[in-house]
Structure 1
Amino acid sequence: MGGAVSAGEDNDDLIDNLKEAQYIRTETVEQAFRAIDRADYYLESYRDNAYKDLAWKHGNIHLSAPCIYSEVMEALRLQPGLSFLNLGSGTGYLSTMIGLILGPFGINHGVEIHADVVDYAREKLDNFIKKSDSFDKFEFCEPVFVVGNCIDVLSDNLQYDRVYCGAGVQKDHENYMKIFLKVGGILVMPMEDQLTQIIRTGQNTWETKNILAVSFAPLIQPNRSDCYKSENVKLQGGKMILKWVLMT
């Protein structure tokens, strides 16, 4: 999915194209996109493709097209101090951009099924904090990444202002995803080939809007025979703790 805008020569050129095509519509989202060079999240030998409006996948590492990430960020209506959960957090590119908006009083959590991708995300985050010229220009809400299957995360008393799922959600998992959302919160996820925004307007009321036709790989179903299952996820002092039980 992607190809909605022309390829750029560098990160700023890519952002200019996304703005011209109305995928980036607010200054807040624009600033976050300009602060983080998309190429920094590519393997070195693939950096030449970073400024194309296309998804990229290498092994378990995956980046959605820039037009998708910009639509997601606009649909989430991000503000400083909010709590954010990224289900399928991947390389951490999106979570890091969102952390620039959430600021020091926000909460920024990511759950990713592949351990090697979590290691990759943590490495890229560390590089951004230590080496990026942009880091000192923002008050940053640092993402916390854990390994886990988001379908196995127990949601008791764990709710967020904003939630994004980066994998295709089948209709029978829609209510499960909604559990993570506070009243007044916004959930964005691909469902039935549509990037969908769901606003929780009350304890049992919702507003749903289709944003964009998309094609995402589906959520990975837990392997009940031999995998680890998440037993509990909870907040403690703004940090996410994931406990695991070996299935027997």
Structure 2
Amino acid sequence: MGGAVSAGEDNDELIDNLKEAQYIRSELVECAFRAIDRADYYLEEFRDSAYKDLAWRHGNIHLSAPCIYSEVMEALDLQPGLSFLNLGSGTGYLSTMVGLILAMSKILKSYLKATDKEAVIKGPFGVNHGVELHADVIDYAHQKLDCFIKTSDSFDRFEFCEPSFVMGNCLEIGPESRQYDRVYCGAGVQREHEDYMRNLLKVGGILVLPLEEKLTKITRTGYNTWETKKIIAVSFAPLVLPKHRENGKPRTVPLPAMFEVRSLQDLSRISIRTTLKKSVSGSWPLPRRVGFRGRSRAKQRREHRDSTLLTNRYVFMSRLIPGPLNDNHHPGTDDEEDDCRGVCEREEDEVEDEEDGRRKEGRVLLTEAPVNLLRERILSLPLPEPLKMYLLYYREK
């Protein structure tokens, strides 16, 4: 399924094509698609096909066509703080885009509409769960999620409602399980399972699923009332029916906890990252605005490099803050800071000559700002005393 739009040379050009063909219609969905590179979810030997509007499958690993994901994201009408359940979560590509919107949609909306420059959401919040049948696909999704968190520029720009994946058959979720605001099923559903899927929704919730060869949006308008809308014709592999157990007892899929309690260290890092985003580089760059058809591709690439430069400055500054302790219960070494500084300086040297003034300004920030000055600034923030003492210990080391 797919092939509705032309192939792109990169992720941004693919999104441009989807927008031009009206598969992507809202700026919020467009920002989420631009923030996640589709090719990152392909195996390396298949990356050349990542920007075609085609589905991809390798063994149990599967990605739907970009035009399908576009329609799904638009139909879900995601909002901040909602709970989302992805049935057949696969590689985690869709769940990762959803995670950005759940935590950041108000910021993106205020930026795009230019009506509320002070809007800030402290995240992450919302609920982002996935159920996947195959253990190898769960492992693959965890690898891609870990790579996104450690290497993606978008993770440093935005807050993120991290998805949680569990293994099991989505038709074995217990009838007493919790309900969600938004549900998506990534496998073909027959009419006899429609009521089962509907019961996973809260009142006011939205379910998007392939129902008898049609991508369908079902809105729960009341306890026993529903609105149904057919979107486009699709072709999905059917749901795998549960296997009968020998003892005859039903098997139930244990869904993740609705709200997880984060450690003090996680909460401290979230607070520090948020502060650094606002203080180190001012307003943080968001995914590129739409309407690039009137601009040259070279100018778009310059804007992307400038955004990457700002990201690397932030990554350098944020890594001066201690993260998870190593095996000896000590923070990272000075060598790691030197490596990070070197990466940032090399990125600056690649900026074009017309950006020379800005590049020099960045080099001063990276090479002349004393490390202790940044730590003193953090210590002056209204942080809990135990955290200040921890940072003080790290500074003196």
Specify if TM > 0.5.
Answer: yes
Aligned position for 1:233: 254
Q: Taking every aligned residue pair, what percent have the same amino acid on both sides?
A: 74
The structure where strand makes up a greater share of residues is 1
The alpha-carbon deviation at position 232 of structure 1 amounts to 4.9
Match of 1:182 among 202, 211, 217: 202
- Aligned amino acid, residue 244 of structure 2: R
Q: Is the 8 A contact 1:155 1:233 kept in 2?
A: no
Q: Offset at 1:237?
A: 5.2
Cα distance between partner residues in 2 of 1:229 and 1:137: 44
How many angstroms does 1:225 deviate by?
4.4
Contact 2:127 2:258 in 1 (8 A): no
Alpha-carbon distance between aligned partners in 2 of 1:97 and 1:216, rounded to the nearest angstrom: 21
Secondary structure of the equivalent of 1:218? coil
2:183 maps to 163
Q: Where does residue 16 of structure 1 map in the other structure?
A: 16
Match in the other structure for 1:244? none
Partner of 1:48: 48
Aligned equivalent of 2:223:
203
Deviation at 1:38, TM superposition (A): 0.3
Deviation, 1:136, is 1.3
Whether the 8 Å contact between 2:129 and 2:256 is mirrored in structure 1 is: no
1:1-20 per-residue CA deviation (whole Å, 9 max, x = no partner) reads 00000000000000000000
Structure 1 pair 173–13 and aligned structure 2 pair: CA distance change class (3 A): same
Q: Give the direction of change, closer, same or farther, for the CA distance of 1:197–1:134 in structure 2 (3 Å limit).
A: same
Kindly report which structure 2 residues correspond to 1:64-213, keeping only aligned pairs within 5 A, or say none: 64-103=64-103, 104-213=124-233
Which structure: larger Rg? 2
Shift of 1:236: 3.3
Q: Contact between 1:85 and 1:160, CA under 8 Å: does it hold in 2?
A: yes
Counterpart residue type for residue 78 of structure 1: L
Question: Over aligned residue pairs, what C-alpha RMSD do you find?
Answer: 1.5
SS in 2 for 1:184: strand
Contact 1:148 1:230 (C-alpha < 8 Å) held by counterparts: no
Shift of 1:230: 3.9
Shift of residue 153 of structure 1?
1.0
The letter of the residue matching 1:198 is I
Which is richer in helix?
2
Mapped pair 1:29 → 2:49: no
Cα separation, 1, equivalents of 2:243 and 2:28: 40
Give the aligned residue type for 1:19.
Answer: K
- 2:169, 2:253 within 8 Å by CA — same for their partners in 1? no
Larger RCO (CA within 8 A; separation ≥ 6): 1
Kept in 2, the 8 Å contact 1:178–1:187? The answer is yes
- For the residue of structure 2 that corresponds to 1:216, the secondary structure is coil
CA offsets per residue over residues 112-148 of structure 1, 9 Å max, x none?
0000000000000000000001111111000000100
* Matched residue type, 1:16: D
Larger deviation: 169-178 or 230-239?
A: 230-239
SS at match of 2:217: strand
Q: After the TM superposition, list the runs of 4 or more consecutive aligned residues in structure 1 that deviate by more than 3 angstroms.
A: 225-230, 234-237
CA distance in structure 2 between the partners assigned to 1:224 and 1:134 by the alignment:
44
Q: TM-score, normalised by structure 2?
A: 0.59
Paired residue secondary structure (2:221): strand
Using the alignment, how far apart are the partners of 1:29 and 1:89 within structure 2? Answer: 19
2:237 corresponds, among 196, 217, 235, to: 217
**Aligned pair in 2 of structure 1 residues 116, 25: CA closer, same or farther (>3 Å)?**
same
Given that residues 149 and 230 in structure 1 are in contact (C-alpha distance below 8 angstroms), is that contact kept between their aligned partners in structure 2? no
Q: Provide the rounded CA distance (Å) in 2 between the counterparts of 1:229 and 1:37.
A: 40
Can you give the 5+ residue segments of structure 1 that lack an aligned partner in the other structure? 240-248
Structure 2 stretches lacking a partner, 5+ long: 104-123, 261-397
Aligned to 1:243: none
Structure 2 distance, partners of 1:188, 1:81, is 19
Residue aligning to 1:245? none
1: CA distance between counterparts of 2:235 and 2:54? Answer: 12
Q: Report SS of the residue matched to 2:252.
A: strand
